[in-house]
Amino acid sequence: MYKCLNCGKEVSLEQANEKIRCPFCGYRIIMKTRPKKVVRVLAR
Ligand SMILES: [Zn+2]
């Protein structure tokens, strides 16, 4: 999975076509996201 740095939406390679590009806003800078979900832990 990839994440658009502009709109913050997750973009898959299928949606991004050959050129990695955000299908939602057309932004060309997309950051790879780790397959594992980030687990937030509240430290109290
Ligand atoms: Zn975007």
Output phi, psi for 3, to 5 deg: -130, 130
Tens of pLDDT, residue by residue over 1-43, are: 888 999 999 888 765 556 678 889 999 888 888 766 666 778 7
CA dist 6 → 16, 19, 32, 40, 44 (Å): 15, 16, 13, 23, 32
pTM of the model: 0.58
**Rg value, the chain, Cα:** 13
pLDDT value at residue 7: 95
Cα separation, 37 vs 26, whole angstroms: 25
Distance from Cα 4 to the centre of ligand 1, integer Å: 5
Distance from Cα 28 to the centre of ligand 1, integer Å: 8
Distance from Cα 43 to the centre of ligand 1, integer Å: 32
Distance from Cα 42 to the centre of ligand 1, integer Å: 29
Cα separation, 44 vs 33, whole angstroms: 27
